[in-house]
Each structure stands twice: as C-alpha cells, then as structure tokens.
Structure 1
Amino acid sequence: MKITYPHMGYSYVAFKMLINDLGYEAVVPPEPSKRTIDLGVRYAPEFACIPFKVLLGTYLETIEMGAEMAITSGGMGPCRAGYYGIMHQRILNELGHDFHIHIFEPPQVNYLDFIKKLKAIKPRGMSWRTFIQLIKKGYGKLEAIDEMEYLMYRIMPFEINKGDTANAFKKVLEILDEAQTAEEIEDARWECRKMIAKVPQDRSRVPLKIGIIGEIYVVLEPAVNFYLQKTLGEMGVYTDRSIWLTSYTQKNVLVEGKIGEKDIHEMAHPYLNELIGGHGLNSIGEIVIYAEDGYDGVIQLAPFSCIPEIMAKGIVPRVSREEGIPVMTIFIDEQTAAAGVLTRLEAFLDLLKRRREQQAIKEKSLA
C-alpha cells in the first residue's frame, strides 16, 4: 500500500522512514506550492482556512503520485480543525477518488479508538514490541530534525556569510534522511550538531529577539508562512518559535513538555481564562512568557478566518500594552503575497530598533 501524510515543515523525513519501516511505500508529499494551494482552493469551501486548503491540495497531488491512503491527526476542543479529516474525506470521495484518510484523534479523546487506529496500521505478523520500537525510532529522528532546525535559527543571526547556516541545514537533512537505524540516527545527530556549529559566526552582535506564536500549521510550515523564521534569521534577527512538532506531541500525546499547557494557561489567565480552541489561549500566554524573557517583540501567525486566533488577536493590544512588548499579527490566506509580508516585517523591525534605542537613551539618562 502507498501511504502519504501532511507536509509540515521538515517532519516528512522522519515520517517517510517510519512508513517504509512498517512495510508500506511512503509517498512523500511535495512542499506546498502555488499549485497545491490552487487545487485546495478549487475544491474547498470558501470559508475554510489556509491549512484546510493546503492539506486538501496536498492529498490531491499525492493521489496523482499513486497514494492510496493518508495518515493524519484530528483535534479536540472548539476548533474546526477536528473536522478537517472528515471533510477532506468527503470532498475526495465526491471527486471520485478511492482514497482513505486514517485520522488519529488525541488519545485523551478516546484511548480505545486510538489503540484501534494503531492496530489498523500495524502490519499483520508484526509484534507490538517491534511496532512500538519502529515508532520510537521514527520519533527519535523527528527529535533530531527539530533539534537541528532549532540550532539553525539560533546561529543564523550571527552567521558571517549569509546563507551558510541554511546550506549547512540542507546537508544536515540529507544526512538524517540517510540514517536508518537508531544507532545511525544518533551518530548522525552528533555529526549534524558539529556541522551547524562550524558555521563562521560573529558573537559580538546583539540581535533583536522576536518570539513567533500562533496556529500550529502556519507556524510550522515555512512554505505557507513565506519562510518567515529563515527570513528573519538572515536579516540578523534572533527568533524563538513557540511550537515544535515534538514538543506539541509530548504535551498532547505523551507527557508534559518543559513548559506545559497548564503553565501557559496560567500566564494567560489574567487576560483570558477560557478554552477558545486551537492555539488561541496559548498565544496569549506565550506573549506574556516572551515579555518576561526580555524579547523585543512577538509575531502572531494565523490563518485568515481562524476563530481562536481572531479571538486572541482581540486581546493582544491589551496584553502588548500591559506587558510592554510590541506584537504584530499576520493573517495568511491564498491572497497573501510574500512581498507584502516582507514589507510588514521590515517596518516591524524598524519599530523594534527605534524602541530599543529609546530605551537605551532612557536608561543612560537615569544612570
């Protein structure tokens, strides 16, 4: 059977290995492009958000590549994302495609259903022990990918030659892609750390620090957010992303992460104390965290028509004012252009630079 999955950042490298390890043929989804979006827009409801349209376009592209089934995640709480898989399945069936979407809901929704879904993709004859070991190995590669991407964004603002870090990361992905056993993945991890660390850097710089928050898909998929984090890094900005696929998995499937949902919700409590779905509540709490950590500003990324992020956006001005940190919101849909996003980024950076200069003058006068 040929199986595909959503394209979300660089996670496709790990999912490809896992599906192949299970004895299926992985159909690697292409990076979202204008064609992907056009296909999704053509068949999706007009009110649907950009993640819905991109995923639908991705399924249509992978069906052309021979995919017979997709494995994806569901959702819980007051957010339309929980219905995406069902809606995608219905649309694809109406278009005449014999294609199945295997939806994994979070275990806390229905533990028995989660186990049932796992059993359905476990190959006959394969022991549960082997099956779990393969999943752990795939997760290990996913952790390595997240770590290398994290390191890339940490080094980018200090790189002496623009593009060196991005080029090193491309080689890192190739190395991790070739690693197939747990031992090879761990060896590759060490090799990749050294490779990225070797990028020539100027650590005397004091870059602006920006936190990136918002809806998970537009935050994690660079092809949808116009490579915002990479662009900022190459503009000399130090960025921190609030969401990583591995940390999200730990919080929602495995165990609590370093900063658990409860802590973020406590941070948000003075401004918002109701679960509004998606990552809306998290966005508020994360602004508070970035303010306390001394960041210069925050960028909120959200799909146009995303109700949780729209509700959060309504509270952002107060949070920004009371926490003393500028916040810029970028809503993304199929009409959003890269040039417009870049212009807004440049204006926001100018604002943050002037603000930092004014604060330095004020501190000097008080000294």
Structure 2
Amino acid sequence: MKKVSFAHMGYSYLGFKQLVEDMGFEAIVPANPSPATLDLGVQYAPEFACIPFKTVLGTYLEVLNRGAEMIITSGGVGPCRAGLYGLLHEKILRNLGYNFELFIFDPPLTGLGPFFWKLRRVLKEARLSWLAFIDVVRRAWAKLKLLDELEQMATVTRPYEIKRGATTRAFNQCLEIIDRARSSKEIAAAREECRQLLQSVPRDEERRPLRIGIVGEIYVLLEPFMNLDIEKTLGEMGVITKRSIYLTNYTTTDVLAHGTEDIRQIAHPYLNQFVGGHGQSSVGETILYARNGFDGVIQLAPFTCIPEIVAKSILPLVSRDFNIPVLSLTIDEQTGRAGVETRLEAFVDLLRQRREQMEARSNAALLPGY
C-alpha cells in the first residue's frame, strides 16, 4: 500500500486523511507544525522565501523521513510566487536525495487537461474508478465543511465562556469525534454531537464582545502555528473573530471559480487589478467588515509576501475612509508569541476605548438641548 502525504493546513488534515485512506492509500498524516518543523524548513529554503514556504518544506521533510512515497499538493497562478512553490520544494528535496512522487494540482480552470491527466494517474495508482472517487470526495468534502463550521462556531462561543479554555477543550473533543466518523451518516451524527458539545460550554451572555475581522494570506490565516493561535488568543480576550478565508469557501469561490466578483468590485476603487494571492481580497474584505459594523480588522501577512505588501500599503487609506482601525502583523521565523500578544492586547484596548467613546457621544446626542 503506497504511503501518501500532504501539507498540514489548519484542521483540514482530518478531511485529507480520510480522502487518502478511502482512496486505498496509507495516509502519512503530517504532525502539527512546530518550531522544529520551521527550523528544518529554514535550514534548506532560500533565505527570502516566505514563512509558509519554509514551514511546508519542513513538513515535507518530516513526512518523507516517516516513509511517505507520494506527496499531493496544490499549485497556483498569477503574480504570487506560491504557484512555483511545489516545483521548488521538489527540486530542493530531490537535491537532498529523497525519492518520491509529487503531484501538484493547479486550479482546474487554469487547464482542465493537465488537471485531469494528473488525477487519472493518481486514480490509476489507487485502482479507483471515477464513480468511486466521486463518492470518496463527497465524504471528505462533508468532513471539511463540518470542520470549517465548527471552527467558526468555536470563535463565536469562546468570548462568552465562563471558564477559560472550555471552548478549546470542547473543540479538541470535536476533532477526535470527527476523525472517527467515516460514512456520511457518521459525519452527520458527528455534526450534531459536536454542535451540542460547543453549545453546552457555560456562557456569560451579559458580555459584549468586540468583533474583529481577519484578512491576509491563506496559509497564515488557516494554520494556527503560523498565526500563533491568534483566534484563540483574541477569543480569550473577549473578541469574536471572523476570517476572510475558510478552506471550503475558498475552494468554491477561488479554486473552482474565478474568485468572488463582489469582493473585487468592492476593492476596485482602491485596488483595481489582481495582484496575486489574496491582496485584492484583503482590501475588499476590510471594506466589507467596516460596512458590517466590525470594530476592527487585523491583516496577517508573511514577510516578503508581495500581494499582502500591496494590500498593506492601501489599508491605511481604507482605514481612514471607512473609519475602522486596522492592525497589520507581518509573520516570519523571528516572530515571537509574546510580542504578538502584546500588540493584540494594545489593539483590543484601543478598540474598547473607541467603542466607549462612540457610545458616550451617541448617548450625549440624545440628551435634550444637545
């Protein structure tokens, strides 16, 4: 049985694990990225490659050392360098003496022929029919959608929790339950059980959490190790967070289609062209968060990420025009948790003071003779 692995990105590994195993392969599930993973990637990556490149390279080295024989990954198009990462990863790994198969799947709309040719090769090795593959994908997709749903539910629950860490413990239980679910019926049952678990977390409904939108590059947004558990940290500070990207909605809007037209139109007055990656989306989503009454926005950007550098240069203007505070955090291998948490605490304090001042002015305006 061939041993197959993939990159670790947030909690999606549970869906990809099921996909690989149901295809008949042995899944070498990548461990959660750690400082050792990053150090391994930094050792062999080009100095000015972004931190997602280095972390994924470290992950590949770890799974290859555990016996992985095939790696399946995604590609990309446009000005962003991510479209070339798979090829560069392969070159580095082969120069280090590793022997393996690598399948890089670019978005299908960039070329249906190459996409299905690669997929046919994988299915041939799996000895799986197209009909059986559709059923396998359907179950894995259901699991990925459930993971996104529960992650969002946890971010809304955490700011109200009475006992610190209760939401995180319930969510971790959910991950174990979802991992055990295999059939469509079991995944549906896992959904109900996990929703009940999160709903049962004792809450203080008198609290008034801030709402912060989070925009930026996909890997840094989805992988907690990359963003230093920013959503958990903010949630325990009493903040509801909403990311601009979840894997399943990104897949349907950007991978299987040409992106969200609404977001491009919203961003157009400030950034009227595609700059690669999620640069245009970061601008458009920030405007959308402002229109929806969010208290602030945080941009997460890997160091040297050109699309997010473009967005970062525009966001101060968006912040001024839409009266919404924006904090940009640049992440690389030198970024420390303590420094990030200090900046987050200061940002949250600023937003609380700002809300109190706005409410005071609003109440004063209601007084007679104002």
Match of 1:224 in 2: 226
The answer as to whether partners of 1:89 and 1:100 remain within 8 angstroms in 2 is no
1:109 matched residue in structure 2: 110
Q: What secondary structure is seen at the aligned counterpart in 1 of 2:205?
A: coil
Q: Deviations over 1:55-80 (max 9, x none)?
A: 00000011111111111100011110
Residue in 2 that maps onto 1:272: 271
* Structure 1 residue 81, shift from structure 2 partner: 0.3
The SS at the match of 1:108 is helix
1:232-256: CA deviations, max 9, x gaps? 0111111111100000111123468
- 1:151-230 map, 5 Å: 151-230=153-232
Question: What TM-score comes out, normalization by structure 1 length?
Answer: 0.97
**2: distance between equivalents of 1:272 and 1:303?**
20
Which amino acid is 2:234 matched to?
Answer: L
The one-character-per-residue Cα deviations of 1:318-361 (angstroms, maximum 9, x if unpaired) are 00000110000000000000011001001111111111111111
Q: How many equivalent residue pairs?
A: 364
Give the structure-2-normalised TM-score.
0.97
In structure 2, distance between residues paired with 1:116 and 1:196: 43
Q: Which residue pairs with 1:16 in the alignment?
A: 17
Q: 1:315 & 1:287 partners in 2: Cα distance?
A: 11
CA distance in 2, matches of 1:282, 1:196: 30
Whole-angstrom distance in 2 between the partners of 1:366 and 1:271? 33
| Alpha-carbon separation, structure 1, partners of 2:136 and 2:20 | 9
Give, in whole Å, the separation in 2 of the partners of 1:230 and 1:156. 8
Aligned AA for 1:296?
A: D
**Deviation readout 1:157-189 (Å, 9 max, x if unpaired):** 111111111100111110110011111111111
Equivalent residue letter for 1:85: G
- The residue number in structure 2 matching 1:253 is 255
Whether the 8 Å contact between 2:107 and 2:256 is mirrored in structure 1 is no
Q: Which runs of 4+ in 1 moved over 6 A?
A: none
Question: Could you list the runs of 5+ residues in structure 2 that have no partner in the other structure?
Answer: none
Q: Secondary structure at the match of 1:122?
A: helix
Give the drift of 1:191: 1.2
- Aligned twin of 1:360: 359
Q: SS where residue 300 of structure 2 aligns? A: strand
Return the offset for 1:299.
0.3
1:23-34 equivalent positions in 2, closer than 5 A? 23-34=24-35
1:344 aligns with 2:346: no
2:104 and 2:257 map into 1 onto residues whose CA distance is: 21
Residue-by-residue CA offset, 1:88-122 (whole Å, 9 max, x unaligned): 00000111110222100001110111111111111
The runs of 5 or more residues in structure 1 that have no matched partner are: none
Tell me if the contact between 2:297 and 2:327 (Cα under 8 Å) persists in the aligned partners: yes
Instruction: Find the counterpart in structure 2 of residue 94 from structure 1.
Output: 95
Match of 2:64 in 1: 63
Aligned twin of 1:43: 44
Q: Distance in 2 between matches of 1:54 and 1:126?
A: 32
Does the Cα contact within 8 Å between 2:109 and 2:257 map onto a contact in 1?
no
* Residue type at the aligned position of 1:76: V
**AA aligned opposite 2:339:** G
C-alpha distance in 1 between matches for 2:102 and 2:317? 41
SS in structure 1 of the partner of residue 301 of structure 2: strand
Aligned mates of 2:179, 2:320 — CA distance in 1: 45
% of aligned pairs identical? Answer: 54
Q: Mark the CA change 1:273 to 1:160 in structure 2 (over 3 Å): closer, same or farther.
A: same
Deviation at 1:131, TM superposition (A): 0.8
Q: 1:147 aligns with which of 146, 149, 157?
A: 149
Q: Output the CA distance in 2 between the equivalents of 1:131 and 1:178.
A: 20
SS at match of 1:328: strand
CA distance in 2, matches of 1:127, 1:346: 53
| Aligned-residue offset at 1:223 | 0.8
Query: Which residue identity lines up with residue 176 of structure 1 in the other structure?
Result: I
Write the distance in 2 (CA, Å) between the matches of 1:125 and 1:17.
17
Give the equivalent residue in structure 1 for 2:119.
Answer: 118
Give the C-alpha shift of residue 190 in structure 1: 1.2
SS at match of 2:213: strand
SS at match of 2:110: coil
